[in-house]
Structure formats: structure tokens, C-alpha cells
Amino acid sequence: MRRALSALCTAGAILAGSLISPAQAAELEISDPAGDAPTARLDITTVSVRNNDHAVVIDTAFVKVATGFFLIQLVDRDGNRADIGSFHRPRGNDKNILTVGNKVRTCKGLRVSWDHEADTARVRLPSKCYLGGDYGAIRTRLFTEVVEDNDFAPNGQNGGRWQWSEWISRG
């Protein structure tokens, strides 16, 4: 009887763990329709955000990588925001900026890597650079700008306003 009860409890725990919603996962995928921006340049199509213990990693796919500005915003449950901006130039000389709480911060290990063949960008923000690593779940949103053309992700339901993603737990 004890074995059956123990097996039943174990099965229940496994089932409960498998029912966790995507908002509770340490990774979130965001889809953004191609063609929703005025131009294909830096038109966001997919975003993958991983809120790992040692770094937040954001992989973004575009219709076409081009010269322009790419902004990623993060916010924790207490409302503490970080902005990662990348002024991208295909010939090099990219300029990457991190602000936390409206103050420009230096961050050893902050990387923005652009891949023109795959039309992607990968951003890696070490957790120590955001609130000293003292945060849990985050939300994110992205913005691109090429001259005066721009794209947002995730897109909002009400008139396309810029929305925050679902919560991404740390894991």
C-alpha cells in the first residue's frame, strides 16, 4: 500500500511539473509577423529570450539585417528596467549601450553579435550587470529603427501598441 501511495504521489508531482505554463519557463519564444514593418530592414520575425542564472540571452531573427538601431528593454517584477541599445553598422563600429535605471553602465561581458548571413542578432547580458544579479522573473520588449521606419515585438492587440512579453522566470 505504501509503495502504491508513493508511486501515486511521484506521478502526481511529475504531472504537476509538466503542466507549468510557458510564462513560468526560463525561456520564451515571441513570433512577430514578417512585413509588419515599413521595410524589410531590421523587421523582427522571431525572438527567443532565455533568463539563465548567469546571463540573459536574446536571439532575434530579422527579415534582413541592416544598418540601424536595435533596443531591448528588460524589467523585473519590481519595475527595475534595463535598456540595451545597439547602433549597428554592417562594416563594423557598432556602438552598444547599457542603461539600468536611466544610468549608463559599463558591463564587461555584454555582447551584441550580428550575423548578416543568417539575418540574426544575439545579445548576451551577464546577470551581474543587471541589479547585481539580484532579480528573478523578467519581461522584455524589442524595438528597431532604420531611419524613420521601425518595428516592435511583441506587437500589442489594441492598435499595435508596444507590449511587454509574458514573464520569463529565471532558471
Residue-range domains of the chain with CATH? 24-153 (2.60.40.1190)
Separation CA 21–CA 18 (nearest Å): 9
Q: What is the mean pLDDT of residues 122-135?
A: 97
pLDDT per position as a tens digit, 45-75: 999 999 999 999 999 999 999 999 999 999 9
pTM for the whole structure: 0.81
pLDDT at 93: 86
Backbone torsions φ then ψ of 64, nearest 5 degrees: -155, 130
pLDDT per position as a tens digit, 5-36: 344 333 333 333 333 344 444 899 999 999 98
Q: Maximum CA pair distance of the chain?
A: 71
Radius of gyration of the chain (CA): 19
pLDDT per position as a tens digit, 138-158: 999 999 999 877 888 887 554
